[in-house]
């Protein structure tokens, strides 16, 4: 069997696992390969996006970039450079996990490519050292850098309408020829799975935790050895959660219409603040201690703390099975007991 044929068969099997909704359309399938030289277009030219399409958004200095999930899910990883360094924007379609990592380790810039699946989660191998990295945790599981963890980079999982409203001058990842045609199907699948996850865990999942449906989307938070899963279904009810994780006071903000979830260190000016939603969408907050008004992105807009920006805490949105299998015993947030 030639190398070319083996490659095609491997890609077909991968698509069948990661993309069950479109597994019956292999003739139109594009190669599942990482993007290492991305191109971008301004928001005004992103006609391939619908308002409710899910994306990963990053900002650095005056630069804002949007990476549509419907495109990311066809590549697994996109290497990019932002003002504060190289990053790898990743997406695992099997476990609904979108994460961004700093793409430099020990002073060396790394480029990632799909390698295999472990625990129904992608493992990516860097081209520079041949080390394999678990996408859901950022940990090197074999190779020269085994035991090393990639550093998470601040990211917001949100919708195109919400991101464009916040960053009207954002740049958007441009799909490569052939990939844009599949984006509507991919985007719909991701949106549907986020609202109502398919039944059961996918093949290959590790130990299952039955406290939640396997493919319910959660926002995971890890501080030190303390881990918490915040189910989107519960966040849509609570909208604003004041919590303490690993000794750190945090506030989690969920905007139900877009499922945009953000989290911050709840301390400002040496004081721990307690937040409440100021409107139904939780796009506006107030703190009980100073009565300042804040937006959902941790910035005080009015009141004694006007101009104060809370420090972002990075969340890990993904299916429950993916979060819990790598973090056994994690606490689960419930709006009814909060």
Report how many helices (DSSP H) and strands (DSSP E) the chain contains, helices first.
6, 27
Distance CA 263, CA 64 (A): 19
Per residue in 79-126, pLDDT tens? 999 999 999 999 999 999 999 999 999 999 999 999 999 999 999 999
- Start-end ranges of CATH 2.102.10.10 in the chain? 31-195, 217-332
Could you identify the residue written with the tokens 């721990």?
272
DSSP structure string for 40-55: EEEGGG-TT--TT-EE
- Across the range 279-289, mean pLDDT stands at 98
| Fold topology of 217-332 | Rieske Iron-sulfur Protein (2.102.10)
Q: How far apart are CA 300 and CA 285, in angstroms?
A: 9
Contacts of 39 (CB under 8 A, 6+ apart): 173, 174
pLDDT for res 7: 37
Q: What is the pLDDT of residue 42?
A: 98
Q: How much is the pLDDT for 28?
A: 61
The fraction of the chain above a pLDDT of 70, given in percent, is: 92
Q: Residue 338: which pLDDT band, with cuts at 50, 70 and 90?
A: confident
Average pLDDT, the chain: 92
Q: Which residues contact 107 (CB under 8 A, 6 or more apart)?
A: none
- pTM, to two decimals: 0.91
**Residue 199 CB-density burial (10 A; 0-12 exposed, 13-18 middle, 19+ buried):** exposed
Residue 197 has what pLDDT? 86
In whole angstroms, what is the distance from residue 317 CA to residue 219 CA?
A: 4
pLDDT (tens digit per residue) in 216-225: 999 999 999 9
294 with 285: CB under 8 angstroms?
yes
CATH code for the structural domain at 31-195 = 2.102.10.10
Alpha-carbon span 124 to 132, nearest angstrom: 6
Q: What is the pLDDT of residues 166-201, one digit of tens each?
A: 999 999 999 999 999 999 999 999 999 999 988 899
More confident residue, 5 or 139: 139
Q: Is the pLDDT of residue 4 over 60?
A: no
pLDDT at 24 over 90: no
Encode burial over 39-73: b for 16+ CB neighbours within 10 A, e otherwise. eeeebeebebbbeebbbbbbbeeeebbbbbbbbbb
More confidently predicted of 282 and 7:
282
């Amino acid at each position: 069997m030639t190398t070319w044929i083996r490659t095609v068969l491997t890609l077909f099997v991968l698509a069948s696992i990661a993309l069950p909704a479109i597994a019956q359309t292999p003739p139109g399938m594009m190669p599942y390969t990482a993007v290492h030289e991305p191109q971008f277009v301004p928001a005004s030219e992103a006609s391939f996006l619908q308002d409710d399409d899910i994306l990963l958004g990053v900002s650095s200095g005056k630069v804002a970039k949007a990476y549509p999930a419907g495109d990311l899910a066809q590549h697994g990883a996109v290497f990019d450079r932002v003002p504060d360094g190289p990053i790898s924007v990743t997406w695992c379609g099997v476990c609904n996990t979108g994460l961004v990592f700093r793409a430099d380790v020990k002073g060396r810039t790394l480029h990632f490519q799909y390698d295999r699946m472990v625990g129904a989660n992608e493992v990516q191998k860097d081209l520079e050292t041949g080390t394999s990295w678990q996408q859901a945790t950022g940990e090197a599981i074999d190779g020269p850098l085994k035991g090393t963890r990639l550093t998470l980079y601040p990211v917001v999982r949100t919708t195109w309408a919400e991101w464009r409203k916040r960053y009207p001058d954002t740049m958007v990842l441009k799909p490569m020829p052939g990939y844009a045609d599949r984006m509507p199907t991919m985007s719909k699948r991701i949106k549907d799975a986020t609202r109502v996850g398919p039944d059961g865990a996918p093949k290959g999942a590790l130990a299952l935790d039955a406290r939640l449906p396997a493919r319910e989307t959660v926002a995971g938070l890890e501080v030190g050895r303390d881990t918490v899963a915040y189910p989107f279904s519960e966040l849509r009810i609570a909208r604003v959660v004041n919590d303490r994780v690993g000794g750190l006071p945090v506030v989690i903000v969920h905007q139900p219409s877009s499922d945009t979830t953000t989290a911050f260190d709840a301390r400002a000016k040496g004081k721990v603040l307690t937040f409440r939603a100021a409107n139904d969408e939780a796009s506006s907050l107030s703190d009980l201690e100073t009565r300042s008004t804040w937006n959902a992105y941790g910035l005080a807009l009015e009141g004694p703390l006007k101009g104060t920006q809370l420090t972002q805490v990075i969340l890990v949105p993904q299916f429950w099975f993916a979060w819990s299998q790598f973090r056994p015993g994690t606490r689960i947030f419930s709006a009814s007991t909060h």
